[in-house]
Structure 1
Amino acid sequence: MDNRIKHLFEQKPQGLLSVYFTAGYPNLEDTVPIILELEKNGVDLIEIGMPFSDPLADGPTIQQSSEIALRNGMTIPKLFEQLKDIRKYTQIPLVLMGYLNPVMQYGVERFCQKANEIGIDGIILPDLPLSDYVREYKSIFEANNLSKIFLITPQTPEQRIREIDSHTNGFVYMVSSASVTGSTNGKAVADTAYFQRVAGMQLRNPAIIGFGIHDRGTFTEACNHARGAIIGSAFIKALAREGNLQQNIQTFIHSIKNEA
C-alpha cells in the first residue's frame, strides 16, 4: 500500500507528533480550520474523532467533546461533507477514529469508499476485533487504500501483536499504561519494559504511543520509546479555552514542540 502515512514515516524517522480532536468541536464547522491550523503549526499526522454517544474507551474530556459535537449536529455524513475538498488544501496524513457502531450504520463498504474518495489515509476503530476485521472487512479496507490501525496495550501478548502487525499497514497504536484517554496519573508513559519489549520485536510497522501524553515532557519521553506520540485530551482542553481558536492551537502545539 502506498499512501501518505507510509511516506510520512519514510520522511521523518523520529519525533512524530500526531494530534487527535473531535470533529464538530468546539463548533460544528471547526473541523477543517483545526486541521489546517494544526498542519500550519508543524503537526505531522491528524486523527479526526467521529463522535459517538457511548465512547467507552475515552476519558471524560473526549466524552464531553463528543457530547457537544453530537449536540452541534456532527454526523458521519456531515463530516464527509466537511472534508470533501480537504485535499485541495493539505496533504497531511488524515486518520478517522471512532467506534464501529456508527460506521456499520452508515455501511462499512460505503464508509470506506467515501473515506478513500475524499483522501482519508487510515481508520482506527478500537472496538472492531481483529478476527472480524480479517474475516469481513480487510479486503474492503485494502481495496480503498485505507490503513487499518490497531491498538495494543501492555497486556497484549506477543503473538497477538505479531498478528496485528501482519494485518495492518499504517502504524501500530501503542496504548500507554493509562487505562482511558486523558489519564495523567503518575507518569503517563511509565511502562518502559512494555515499550522495550515491543521495540525488541522489530515489527514491520512503526509504532506511536498514545493515551496520557499531555505536555512536552510526556511527548519527549514517548518519542524515546517509539516513532512518535499522539495527543488527544490535552489538545481538546486547549480548544475549550477562551479566546481565538487559531491562537489556542498555536500556543498549545508550540508548548509541545519547543522548549519552554
Structure 2
Amino acid sequence: MSLLNENRLSKMFSSPGKKRSIYLTAGYPKLHDTVPLLEILQNSGIDFVEIGIPFSDSIMDGPVILNSHQIALGNGMTMDVLFDQLAAVRAHISIPIVLMGSMNPVYQYGFDRFCKQCEKVGVDGLLLPDLPVIEFKKHYSDFYRENNIAPVFMISPQTSSARLAEIDGLTESFLYAVSSSSTTGASSKMEDSQAYFEQLQIQNFRNPVVIGFNIKTREDIKFVSQYADGVIVGSAFIQALEGGFDPDKITGFIEGLKD
C-alpha cells in the first residue's frame, strides 16, 4: 500500500533527529481546549501530536486516560464536534496530527465519512488499536489510501516476527511500539523492557519505530530514545492537565521533558 501523496508524517520522519510526540484527549480538560493545546505543543517544539477520540470502553487505556475520556464525553465531545474544531486548524498548525481511538465510534460514525472528514481537516494518520490487520486489508485499506491517511499500527513484546513483517509492510508512517504489555499509565520501569527495545532496534524495519505507553519523565525519554526513532508521552501529560488549562504549566511540563 502506498499513499497517493507524501504527507506531513513521512516528511517529518525524513528529517534528522529523534521525534517527540504528545497524546491528548479531544475535549479534555474542557471541550474547546483541543486546538489551543495543539498551538502550545507546536510552539513548544513537539514534532507530532496524537489526539485521542474519547470512548467509554477503551480497552488499551489505564485509569488516567480513561478518566479523561469520561470527562471529555461529559463535556460534550463528539466526532462532529472534533472535526468542527479541527476544520481551520491547518491555517496555523503545521505539525502532523494522528487520530487514535477505538473502532466502535469510528464505525458508528461511518468509516468512509470519517476518513473523508480526516482528509478535509488535515489529519495525517489514523491508529485504531482494535482494528485487526486482516480486517484492515480486506475492508478498510482503500479508505485510507483514497483519503491520503497514513495507517498506524501497534506492535508489542508479544508480536511475532511474521506479524511484525506484515505490519511493517502495511504501515505508511511509523510503527507504534508499546513499551510493555500493561495498559497506558502503568508503573513499569523502562529498563524492564530493555531486551525488547534491543530486539526492535536490530529489526530491518521499513518504517521508523516510536515507543509509547508509560513514558513519563526526561529520563524515560532519554533511555527509550537510544532504541527508537521517537517517543510518545500520554498519561503523564493528561495528569499535567488535571488542574485545568494553564499555558505556563503546560509549557513547563514540555520543557521538563527536554534534555
Q: TM-score, normalised by structure 1?
A: 0.96
Deviations 1:167-195 (A, max 9, x none): 1100000000151001123x135322222
Percent of matched pairs sharing the same residue: 44
Contact 1:176–1:210 (CA under 8 A) maintained in structure 2: yes
Superposition deviation, residue 213 in structure 1: 0.2
Matches within 5 A, 1:45-64: 45-64=48-67
Q: Distance in 1 between matches of 2:110 and 2:123?
A: 17
Deviations 1:67-109 (A, max 9, x none): 0000000011100000000000111000000000000001001
1:8 corresponds, among 12, 34, 46, to 12
Partner of 1:115: 118
Partner of 2:248: 247
Contact 1:178–1:188 (CA under 8 A) maintained in structure 2: no
Superposition deviation, residue 198 in structure 1: 2.0
Superposition deviation, residue 15 in structure 1: 2.1
Q: Distance in 2 between matches of 1:71 and 1:229?
A: 30
| 2:201 pairs with 1:199 | yes
Counterpart residue identity of residue 39, structure 1: Q
Secondary structure of residue in 2 paired with 1:17: strand
| 2:124 pairs with 1:126 | no
1:169 corresponds, among 168, 172, 180, to 172
Q: Distance in 2 between matches of 1:17 and 1:200?
A: 21
Superposition deviation, residue 196 in structure 1: 1.9
Superposition deviation, residue 241 in structure 1: 2.8
Q: Distance in 2 between matches of 1:183 and 1:30?
A: 26
Contact 2:200–2:227 (CA under 8 A) maintained in structure 1: no
Superposition deviation, residue 249 in structure 1: 1.0
> What stretches of structure 1 of length at least 5 have no aligned partner?
none
Counterpart residue identity of residue 6, structure 1: S
Q: Distance in 2 between matches of 1:239 and 1:44?
A: 20
Superposition deviation, residue 3 in structure 1: 0.5
Counterpart residue identity of residue 199, structure 1: Q
1:34 corresponds, among 33, 37, 41, to 37
Aligned length: 255
Superposition deviation, residue 6 in structure 1: 0.4
Q: TM-score, normalised by structure 2?
A: 0.96
Contact 1:207–1:227 (CA under 8 A) maintained in structure 2: yes
Distance 1:10 1:212, change over 3 A: same
Contact 1:177–1:189 (CA under 8 A) maintained in structure 2: no
